[in-house]
Copies of this chain bind each other. A is one copy, B any other.
Amino acid sequence: MKTLSIGIAGLGTVAQGVLMLLASNRALIEQRSGVSVNVVRVASRSAKPDVDLHGADFSTDVMDLLSDPRVDVIVELIGGETLAKELIVAALNNGKAVVTANKAVIALHGNELPRQRLRFEAAVAGAIPIIQAFQYGLVANQFSALSGIINGTCNYMLSAMESEGVDFDAILERAQALGYAEADPSFDVDGIDAAHKLTILMALAFGTDFEFDKVYVEGIRAITPKDISYATELGYRIKHLGILRSNADGIEARVHPTLVAQSELVAHVNGVLNAVQVVSDAAGKTLFSGPGAGGAATASAVVADIIATALHPEQTAGDSSSSRSIPIMPIEKISSAYYLRIPTRDEPGVFAEVTQILSSHNINLDAVIQKDSHAQGGSVDIVILTEDIQEAQMHEALAQLEALATVTAPVMRIRVAPQD
Protein backbone atom coordinates (compact mmCIF):
# COMPACT_ATOMS: atom_id res chain seq x y z
CA MET A 1 0.00 0.00 0.00
CA LYS A 2 1.34 3.40 -1.01
CA THR A 3 0.82 6.10 1.58
CA LEU A 4 0.42 9.77 0.90
CA SER A 5 0.41 12.59 3.45
CA ILE A 6 -1.55 15.63 2.49
CA GLY A 7 -2.04 19.13 3.82
CA ILE A 8 -5.28 20.96 3.13
CA ALA A 9 -5.38 24.73 2.70
CA GLY A 10 -8.83 26.08 3.46
CA LEU A 11 -11.69 24.80 5.53
CA GLY A 12 -14.79 25.72 3.54
CA THR A 13 -17.44 23.34 2.23
CA VAL A 14 -15.16 21.60 -0.28
CA ALA A 15 -12.36 21.12 2.26
CA GLN A 16 -14.86 19.77 4.76
CA GLY A 17 -16.19 17.48 2.04
CA VAL A 18 -12.66 16.17 1.37
CA LEU A 19 -12.03 15.51 5.08
CA MET A 20 -15.34 13.71 5.40
CA LEU A 21 -14.93 11.64 2.24
CA LEU A 22 -11.39 10.54 3.10
CA ALA A 23 -12.62 9.44 6.51
CA SER A 24 -15.92 7.79 5.59
CA ASN A 25 -14.69 5.94 2.47
CA ARG A 26 -11.13 5.24 3.63
CA ALA A 27 -11.33 1.44 3.33
CA LEU A 28 -13.00 1.60 -0.08
CA ILE A 29 -10.45 4.06 -1.44
CA GLU A 30 -7.54 1.98 -0.17
CA GLN A 31 -9.01 -1.18 -1.64
CA ARG A 32 -9.65 0.28 -5.07
CA SER A 33 -6.50 2.34 -5.45
CA GLY A 34 -3.94 0.74 -3.18
CA VAL A 35 -3.31 4.20 -1.76
CA SER A 36 -3.69 5.26 1.86
CA VAL A 37 -4.21 9.01 2.31
CA ASN A 38 -3.43 10.73 5.61
CA VAL A 39 -4.40 14.32 6.26
CA VAL A 40 -1.57 15.55 8.47
CA ARG A 41 -2.30 19.29 8.56
CA VAL A 42 -5.20 21.59 7.80
CA ALA A 43 -4.61 25.33 7.52
CA SER A 44 -7.19 28.08 7.41
CA ARG A 45 -6.87 31.79 8.13
CA SER A 46 -10.04 31.75 10.16
CA ALA A 47 -9.79 30.27 13.63
CA LYS A 48 -10.32 26.53 13.84
CA PRO A 49 -14.03 25.95 13.41
CA ASP A 50 -16.10 23.15 14.83
CA VAL A 51 -15.05 20.60 12.22
CA ASP A 52 -13.68 17.12 12.86
CA LEU A 53 -10.11 17.22 11.52
CA HIS A 54 -9.73 13.46 12.08
CA GLY A 55 -6.47 13.95 13.97
CA ALA A 56 -4.82 16.43 11.60
CA ASP A 57 -2.82 19.35 12.99
CA PHE A 58 -4.25 22.83 12.51
CA SER A 59 -2.56 26.09 11.50
CA THR A 60 -3.97 29.53 10.81
CA ASP A 61 -1.16 30.22 8.32
CA VAL A 62 -1.56 28.23 5.10
CA MET A 63 2.17 28.63 4.48
CA ASP A 64 2.73 26.27 7.43
CA LEU A 65 1.81 23.48 5.03
CA LEU A 66 4.99 24.21 3.09
CA SER A 67 7.25 23.85 6.09
CA ASP A 68 5.62 20.68 7.35
CA PRO A 69 8.06 18.04 6.12
CA ARG A 70 5.43 15.30 6.29
CA VAL A 71 3.25 16.94 3.63
CA ASP A 72 3.65 15.30 0.17
CA VAL A 73 0.67 16.98 -1.46
CA ILE A 74 -0.87 20.37 -0.79
CA VAL A 75 -4.59 20.56 -1.52
CA GLU A 76 -5.39 24.21 -2.24
CA LEU A 77 -9.03 24.98 -1.43
CA ILE A 78 -8.81 28.57 -0.18
CA GLY A 79 -10.06 30.12 -3.42
CA GLY A 80 -9.22 33.61 -4.60
CA GLU A 81 -6.22 34.37 -6.76
CA THR A 82 -3.37 35.99 -4.85
CA LEU A 83 -2.64 33.85 -1.83
CA ALA A 84 -3.78 30.70 -3.62
CA LYS A 85 -1.37 31.27 -6.48
CA GLU A 86 1.45 32.11 -4.08
CA LEU A 87 0.83 28.88 -2.18
CA ILE A 88 0.66 26.77 -5.34
CA VAL A 89 3.89 28.21 -6.75
CA ALA A 90 5.75 27.83 -3.45
CA ALA A 91 4.51 24.26 -3.04
CA LEU A 92 5.56 23.21 -6.55
CA ASN A 93 8.95 24.91 -6.10
CA ASN A 94 9.33 23.02 -2.83
CA GLY A 95 8.89 19.71 -4.63
CA LYS A 96 5.42 19.09 -3.30
CA ALA A 97 2.57 18.06 -5.54
CA VAL A 98 -0.53 20.26 -5.68
CA VAL A 99 -4.21 19.49 -6.10
CA THR A 100 -6.49 22.49 -6.52
CA ALA A 101 -10.12 23.28 -7.30
CA ASN A 102 -9.21 26.87 -8.21
CA LYS A 103 -10.33 27.54 -11.77
CA ALA A 104 -9.41 31.23 -11.76
CA VAL A 105 -5.79 30.59 -10.80
CA ILE A 106 -5.40 27.89 -13.44
CA ALA A 107 -7.25 29.73 -16.23
CA LEU A 108 -5.60 33.10 -15.61
CA HIS A 109 -2.16 32.11 -14.32
CA GLY A 110 -1.77 28.54 -15.56
CA ASN A 111 1.00 29.46 -18.00
CA GLU A 112 3.21 30.65 -15.13
CA LEU A 113 2.82 27.35 -13.30
CA PRO A 114 4.72 24.16 -14.01
CA ARG A 115 2.17 21.57 -15.12
CA GLN A 116 3.96 18.66 -13.59
CA ARG A 117 2.68 17.54 -10.21
CA LEU A 118 -0.25 19.97 -10.55
CA ARG A 119 -3.80 18.62 -10.81
CA PHE A 120 -7.11 20.45 -11.03
CA GLU A 121 -9.93 18.06 -11.97
CA ALA A 122 -12.21 19.83 -9.49
CA ALA A 123 -11.74 23.18 -11.26
CA VAL A 124 -13.89 22.04 -14.19
CA ALA A 125 -17.42 20.62 -14.03
CA GLY A 126 -17.40 19.54 -10.38
CA ALA A 127 -17.85 15.82 -9.93
CA ILE A 128 -17.50 14.98 -13.62
CA PRO A 129 -14.14 13.28 -14.16
CA ILE A 130 -13.54 14.98 -17.49
CA ILE A 131 -9.84 15.77 -17.07
CA GLN A 132 -9.18 12.21 -15.95
CA ALA A 133 -11.12 11.04 -19.01
CA PHE A 134 -8.63 12.94 -21.18
CA GLN A 135 -5.74 11.37 -19.27
CA TYR A 136 -7.03 7.82 -18.95
CA GLY A 137 -10.21 6.65 -20.65
CA LEU A 138 -9.81 8.74 -23.81
CA VAL A 139 -6.00 8.88 -23.72
CA ALA A 140 -5.66 7.37 -27.20
CA ASN A 141 -7.93 9.92 -28.86
CA GLN A 142 -7.38 13.07 -30.81
CA PHE A 143 -10.20 15.49 -30.01
CA SER A 144 -11.86 17.54 -32.73
CA ALA A 145 -14.62 19.26 -30.77
CA LEU A 146 -15.96 19.75 -27.28
CA SER A 147 -19.10 21.40 -26.04
CA GLY A 148 -20.06 21.80 -22.47
CA ILE A 149 -22.71 23.03 -20.11
CA ILE A 150 -20.14 24.19 -17.58
CA ASN A 151 -22.00 26.78 -15.56
CA GLY A 152 -24.78 25.38 -13.40
CA THR A 153 -26.28 28.81 -12.65
CA CYS A 154 -26.87 29.58 -16.33
CA ASN A 155 -28.22 26.10 -16.99
CA TYR A 156 -30.59 26.29 -14.03
CA MET A 157 -31.85 29.68 -15.19
CA LEU A 158 -32.33 28.73 -18.84
CA SER A 159 -34.03 25.45 -17.86
CA ALA A 160 -36.44 27.27 -15.56
CA MET A 161 -37.10 30.00 -18.13
CA GLU A 162 -38.04 27.28 -20.59
CA SER A 163 -40.19 25.14 -18.32
CA GLU A 164 -41.99 28.07 -16.68
CA GLY A 165 -41.93 30.76 -19.36
CA VAL A 166 -40.57 33.35 -16.90
CA ASP A 167 -38.06 36.04 -17.80
CA PHE A 168 -34.40 36.50 -16.87
CA ASP A 169 -34.93 38.96 -14.00
CA ALA A 170 -37.56 36.83 -12.28
CA ILE A 171 -35.50 33.68 -12.49
CA LEU A 172 -32.33 35.46 -11.40
CA GLU A 173 -34.09 36.57 -8.23
CA ARG A 174 -35.11 32.99 -7.51
CA ALA A 175 -31.66 31.60 -8.32
CA GLN A 176 -30.22 34.08 -5.84
CA ALA A 177 -32.76 33.08 -3.19
CA LEU A 178 -31.88 29.40 -3.74
CA GLY A 179 -28.15 30.09 -3.53
CA TYR A 180 -27.54 29.12 -7.18
CA ALA A 181 -26.53 32.68 -8.08
CA GLU A 182 -24.44 35.24 -6.18
CA ALA A 183 -25.66 38.68 -5.06
CA ASP A 184 -23.49 39.98 -7.90
CA PRO A 185 -24.36 37.36 -10.53
CA SER A 186 -22.09 38.71 -13.26
CA PHE A 187 -19.39 36.06 -12.89
CA ASP A 188 -21.92 33.36 -13.76
CA VAL A 189 -24.55 34.97 -15.99
CA ASP A 190 -22.06 36.92 -18.10
CA GLY A 191 -20.12 33.76 -18.88
CA ILE A 192 -16.80 34.50 -17.11
CA ASP A 193 -16.92 31.36 -14.98
CA ALA A 194 -17.70 29.20 -18.01
CA ALA A 195 -14.85 30.87 -19.91
CA HIS A 196 -12.42 30.02 -17.10
CA LYS A 197 -13.41 26.38 -17.35
CA LEU A 198 -13.32 26.38 -21.15
CA THR A 199 -9.81 27.84 -21.00
CA ILE A 200 -8.74 24.87 -18.91
CA LEU A 201 -10.51 22.33 -21.11
CA MET A 202 -8.88 23.86 -24.19
CA ALA A 203 -5.40 23.62 -22.73
CA LEU A 204 -5.92 19.98 -21.80
CA ALA A 205 -7.85 18.75 -24.82
CA PHE A 206 -6.07 20.71 -27.53
CA GLY A 207 -2.65 21.35 -26.05
CA THR A 208 -2.84 25.15 -26.13
CA ASP A 209 -1.60 27.55 -23.50
CA PHE A 210 -4.14 28.82 -20.98
CA GLU A 211 -5.56 31.59 -23.18
CA PHE A 212 -8.49 33.02 -21.27
CA ASP A 213 -8.18 36.36 -23.08
CA LYS A 214 -8.77 34.70 -26.42
CA VAL A 215 -11.99 32.95 -25.43
CA TYR A 216 -15.03 34.73 -26.85
CA VAL A 217 -17.57 35.26 -24.08
CA GLU A 218 -21.28 36.11 -24.10
CA GLY A 219 -23.70 35.62 -21.20
CA ILE A 220 -27.40 34.91 -21.02
CA ARG A 221 -28.87 38.30 -19.96
CA ALA A 222 -30.37 39.02 -23.36
CA ILE A 223 -32.26 35.72 -23.68
CA THR A 224 -36.04 36.11 -23.48
CA PRO A 225 -38.82 33.55 -22.99
CA LYS A 226 -39.90 34.46 -26.52
CA ASP A 227 -36.58 33.27 -27.95
CA ILE A 228 -36.79 30.07 -25.94
CA SER A 229 -40.27 29.43 -27.25
CA TYR A 230 -39.33 30.14 -30.89
CA ALA A 231 -36.32 27.84 -30.47
CA THR A 232 -38.59 25.08 -29.16
CA GLU A 233 -40.86 25.52 -32.15
CA LEU A 234 -37.85 25.13 -34.44
CA GLY A 235 -36.78 21.90 -32.70
CA TYR A 236 -34.06 23.38 -30.48
CA ARG A 237 -33.30 24.34 -26.90
CA ILE A 238 -31.23 27.30 -25.80
CA LYS A 239 -28.22 26.26 -23.71
CA HIS A 240 -25.27 28.30 -22.49
CA LEU A 241 -22.41 26.33 -24.03
CA GLY A 242 -18.68 26.44 -23.97
CA ILE A 243 -17.54 25.33 -27.42
CA LEU A 244 -14.12 24.23 -28.65
CA ARG A 245 -13.46 23.10 -32.21
CA SER A 246 -10.32 22.36 -34.05
CA ASN A 247 -10.27 23.27 -37.71
CA ALA A 248 -7.80 24.18 -40.42
CA ASP A 249 -7.46 27.80 -39.24
CA GLY A 250 -6.95 27.04 -35.56
CA ILE A 251 -9.08 26.47 -32.50
CA GLU A 252 -12.51 27.98 -31.97
CA ALA A 253 -13.00 28.85 -28.29
CA ARG A 254 -16.30 30.46 -27.42
CA VAL A 255 -18.87 30.69 -24.65
CA HIS A 256 -22.36 31.89 -25.58
CA PRO A 257 -26.05 31.01 -25.61
CA THR A 258 -26.54 28.37 -28.27
CA LEU A 259 -29.44 26.67 -30.02
CA VAL A 260 -28.99 22.93 -29.53
CA ALA A 261 -31.11 20.47 -31.53
CA GLN A 262 -33.53 18.54 -29.33
CA SER A 263 -32.13 15.32 -30.83
CA GLU A 264 -28.82 16.01 -29.06
CA LEU A 265 -28.36 14.54 -25.58
CA VAL A 266 -26.82 17.77 -24.29
CA ALA A 267 -30.14 19.54 -24.99
CA HIS A 268 -31.69 17.44 -22.21
CA VAL A 269 -29.18 18.30 -19.47
CA ASN A 270 -31.34 20.47 -17.24
CA GLY A 271 -31.13 22.33 -13.95
CA VAL A 272 -27.84 22.85 -12.14
CA LEU A 273 -26.23 19.84 -13.86
CA ASN A 274 -23.11 20.18 -15.96
CA ALA A 275 -22.20 18.12 -19.02
CA VAL A 276 -19.24 17.91 -21.34
CA GLN A 277 -19.49 16.33 -24.77
CA VAL A 278 -16.26 15.40 -26.52
CA VAL A 279 -15.85 14.40 -30.16
CA SER A 280 -12.85 12.11 -30.63
CA ASP A 281 -11.33 10.38 -33.63
CA ALA A 282 -11.66 6.85 -32.20
CA ALA A 283 -14.21 7.03 -29.37
CA GLY A 284 -16.65 9.15 -31.35
CA LYS A 285 -19.08 11.35 -29.49
CA THR A 286 -19.01 10.79 -25.73
CA LEU A 287 -20.83 12.79 -23.06
CA PHE A 288 -20.15 13.07 -19.36
CA SER A 289 -22.72 14.69 -17.07
CA GLY A 290 -23.09 15.27 -13.36
CA PRO A 291 -23.26 17.86 -10.59
CA GLY A 292 -21.07 20.85 -11.42
CA ALA A 293 -20.76 22.16 -7.90
CA GLY A 294 -21.36 21.36 -4.24
CA GLY A 295 -19.06 20.35 -1.40
CA ALA A 296 -19.33 16.58 -1.72
CA ALA A 297 -19.34 16.51 -5.53
CA THR A 298 -16.27 18.73 -5.74
CA ALA A 299 -14.59 16.72 -3.00
CA SER A 300 -15.07 13.60 -5.13
CA ALA A 301 -12.93 15.20 -7.85
CA VAL A 302 -10.34 16.49 -5.37
CA VAL A 303 -9.85 13.04 -3.85
CA ALA A 304 -9.61 11.49 -7.34
CA ASP A 305 -6.74 13.90 -8.04
CA ILE A 306 -5.07 13.07 -4.74
CA ILE A 307 -5.14 9.38 -5.65
CA ALA A 308 -3.89 10.08 -9.18
CA THR A 309 -1.01 12.05 -7.67
CA ALA A 310 -0.02 9.00 -5.64
CA LEU A 311 -0.32 6.67 -8.61
CA HIS A 312 1.36 8.90 -11.23
CA PRO A 313 3.45 11.45 -9.38
CA GLU A 314 5.13 12.75 -12.52
CA GLN A 315 2.21 12.81 -14.96
CA THR A 316 1.64 16.10 -16.76
CA ALA A 317 -1.84 17.53 -17.05
CA GLY A 318 -2.68 17.71 -20.73
CA ASP A 319 -0.33 17.81 -23.66
CA SER A 320 3.09 19.28 -23.08
CA SER A 321 4.51 22.45 -24.56
CA SER A 322 5.64 20.88 -27.82
CA SER A 323 2.20 21.29 -29.37
CA ARG A 324 1.39 24.76 -28.09
CA SER A 325 1.58 26.96 -31.15
CA ILE A 326 -2.00 26.45 -32.31
CA PRO A 327 -3.72 29.78 -33.03
CA ILE A 328 -7.05 30.57 -31.39
CA MET A 329 -9.49 32.05 -33.89
CA PRO A 330 -11.07 35.47 -33.41
CA ILE A 331 -14.86 35.26 -33.31
CA GLU A 332 -15.18 37.23 -36.58
CA LYS A 333 -13.55 34.35 -38.47
CA ILE A 334 -15.80 31.65 -37.07
CA SER A 335 -18.62 30.22 -39.16
CA SER A 336 -21.91 29.32 -37.59
CA ALA A 337 -25.58 28.93 -38.32
CA TYR A 338 -27.68 31.61 -36.62
CA TYR A 339 -31.06 32.13 -35.08
CA LEU A 340 -32.26 35.68 -35.81
CA ARG A 341 -35.30 37.33 -34.27
CA ILE A 342 -36.01 40.51 -36.19
CA PRO A 343 -38.70 42.78 -34.71
CA THR A 344 -40.38 44.56 -37.64
CA ARG A 345 -43.37 46.71 -38.46
CA ASP A 346 -46.31 44.68 -39.63
CA GLU A 347 -46.24 46.05 -43.17
CA PRO A 348 -46.21 44.51 -46.63
CA GLY A 349 -42.75 44.14 -48.18
CA VAL A 350 -40.80 43.93 -44.92
CA PHE A 351 -40.05 40.25 -45.24
CA ALA A 352 -38.73 40.81 -48.75
CA GLU A 353 -36.50 43.67 -47.53
CA VAL A 354 -35.08 41.46 -44.79
CA THR A 355 -34.41 38.44 -46.94
CA GLN A 356 -32.90 40.59 -49.67
CA ILE A 357 -30.29 41.96 -47.25
CA LEU A 358 -29.49 38.47 -45.97
CA SER A 359 -29.22 37.16 -49.50
CA SER A 360 -26.88 40.00 -50.51
CA HIS A 361 -24.50 38.77 -47.76
CA ASN A 362 -24.72 35.17 -48.99
CA ILE A 363 -26.76 34.17 -45.97
CA ASN A 364 -29.08 31.29 -46.81
CA LEU A 365 -32.23 30.54 -44.86
CA ASP A 366 -32.94 27.17 -43.29
CA ALA A 367 -36.27 27.93 -41.60
CA VAL A 368 -38.57 30.92 -41.05
CA ILE A 369 -41.30 31.77 -38.56
CA GLN A 370 -43.35 34.94 -38.76
CA LYS A 371 -45.65 35.79 -35.87
CA ASP A 372 -47.24 38.59 -33.91
CA SER A 373 -44.75 39.76 -31.33
CA HIS A 374 -47.59 40.68 -28.93
CA ALA A 375 -46.03 44.15 -28.69
CA GLN A 376 -48.03 47.31 -29.30
CA GLY A 377 -48.32 48.93 -32.67
CA GLY A 378 -48.78 46.05 -35.04
CA SER A 379 -45.21 44.72 -34.99
CA VAL A 380 -44.18 41.20 -35.90
CA ASP A 381 -41.15 39.05 -35.18
CA ILE A 382 -39.50 37.54 -38.20
CA VAL A 383 -37.60 34.54 -36.91
CA ILE A 384 -35.01 32.96 -39.15
CA LEU A 385 -32.59 30.06 -38.93
CA THR A 386 -29.68 30.55 -41.31
CA GLU A 387 -27.18 28.17 -42.78
CA ASP A 388 -23.50 28.52 -41.82
CA ILE A 389 -22.00 31.94 -42.47
CA GLN A 390 -18.91 33.73 -41.19
CA GLU A 391 -19.52 35.91 -38.13
CA ALA A 392 -18.07 39.00 -39.87
CA GLN A 393 -20.56 38.64 -42.72
CA MET A 394 -23.40 38.26 -40.24
CA HIS A 395 -22.32 41.47 -38.44
CA GLU A 396 -22.50 43.43 -41.66
CA ALA A 397 -25.91 42.02 -42.49
CA LEU A 398 -27.19 42.81 -38.99
CA ALA A 399 -26.00 46.41 -39.23
CA GLN A 400 -27.91 46.82 -42.49
CA LEU A 401 -31.01 45.12 -41.08
CA GLU A 402 -31.04 47.37 -38.04
CA ALA A 403 -30.71 50.43 -40.24
CA LEU A 404 -34.02 49.58 -41.94
CA ALA A 405 -36.87 51.90 -40.96
CA THR A 406 -39.13 48.86 -40.73
CA VAL A 407 -36.92 47.06 -38.19
CA THR A 408 -38.17 48.41 -34.89
CA ALA A 409 -35.61 47.14 -32.37
CA PRO A 410 -32.19 45.47 -32.28
CA VAL A 411 -32.07 42.05 -33.90
CA MET A 412 -31.63 39.16 -31.49
CA ARG A 413 -29.03 36.70 -32.82
CA ILE A 414 -28.09 33.43 -31.21
CA ARG A 415 -25.59 30.99 -32.68
CA VAL A 416 -26.68 27.44 -33.48
CA ALA A 417 -24.51 24.60 -32.17
CA PRO A 418 -22.19 23.17 -34.80
CA GLN A 419 -23.04 19.66 -36.00
CA ASP A 420 -20.07 17.65 -34.84
* A positions within 8 Å CB-CB of B: 17, 21-22, 24-25, 28-29, 31-34, 121, 127-129, 132-142, 263, 265, 267-270, 273, 280-291, 294, 296-297, 299-301, 303-304, 307-308, 311-312, 314-316, 318-320, 322-323
Contact between chains at A288 and B288 (CB < 8 Å): yes
7 A-B pairs (CB sep. < 8 Å): A33-B135, A132-B137, A136-B308, A265-B289, A282-B300, A311-B311, A311-B315
Q: Return chain B residues, CB-CB under 8 Å to A137.
A: 121, 128-129, 132-133, 136, 301, 304
Contact between chains at A282 and B21 (CB < 8 Å): yes
Contact between chains at B136 and A304 (CB < 8 Å): yes
- Closest Cβ of chain B to A319, distance in Å, is 5
Contact between chains at B265 and A282 (CB < 8 Å): no
Contact between chains at A129 and B133 (CB < 8 Å): yes
Contact between chains at B304 and A140 (CB < 8 Å): yes
Choose from B29, B282, B289 the contact partner of A287 (Cβ within 8 Å). B289
Whether A282 contacts B297 in the complex (CB less than 8 A), given A31-B320, A140-B21, comes out as yes
Task: Count the copies.
Answer: 2
Q: Return chain B residues, CB-CB under 8 Å to A290.
A: 283-287
Among A25, A137, A289, max chain B CB count under 10 A is at: A137
- Closest Cβ of chain B to A201, distance in Å, is 15
- Closest Cβ of chain B to A162, distance in Å, is 13
| Complex-state Cα separation, A278 to B142, whole angstroms | 26
Contacts A21-B282, A28-B319, A31-B320 given; 6 further ones with Cβ under 8 A? A25-B281, A32-B139, A129-B138, A268-B268, A288-B288, A311-B312
Among A34, A273, A300, max chain B CB count under 10 A is at: A300
Contact between chains at B265 and A31 (CB < 8 Å): no
| Complex-state Cα separation, A312 to B300, whole angstroms | 21
| Complex-state Cα separation, A17 to B140, whole angstroms | 11
Choose from B21, B267, B287, B296 the contact partner of A288 (Cβ within 8 Å). B287
Q: Return chain B residues, CB-CB under 8 Å to A265.
A: 265, 268-269, 273, 289
Choose from B32, B269, B273 the contact partner of A135 (Cβ within 8 Å). B32
Contact between chains at B282 and A299 (CB < 8 Å): yes
- Closest Cβ of chain B to A40, distance in Å, is 18
